[in-house]
Amino acid sequence: MNELIDERVRKVVATTFGLDPLEVAHDASAQTLAGWTSLARLHLSSFDENFDIRLTVDDMTSMTSIPAIVTVLTASGVDA
């Protein structure tokens, strides 16, 4: 896993859900983070802006954990 992308992802997730980045574990997911619901996942569209990419609906659907988000971003060509 790209650690720099992981760190950036955790910061975006923390901001999205009103958490301290230190509260967002590297393996955080919809099952482990309070407030990470399917509706709240729509707010994660800020990854488009934060990483300057275009996410598809399939990308958004698969973004259910920090590792899954890092995988999507890496596959989309995001550099740390």
Q: What is the pLDDT of residue 7?
A: 92
- Fold for the domain defined by 3-75: 1.10.1200
Residues in contact with 63: Cβ distance below 8 Å, sequence separation at least 6, in sequence order: 41, 44, 47, 55, 69, 72
Give the model's pLDDT for residue 80.
Answer: 64
Residue 69 has pLDDT above 80, yes or no: yes
- According to DSSP, residue 6 is labeled H
Where in the chain are the domains?
3-75
* pLDDT tens, position by position, 3-62: 889 999 999 888 888 888 888 999 999 889 877 776 666 666 678 888 888 888 888 888
The whole-number pLDDT of residue 66 equals 92
Residues in CB range of 48: below 8 A, 6 or more apart: 54, 55
Nearest Cα to Cα of residue 78 among 56, 57, 50: 50
pTM of the model: 0.84
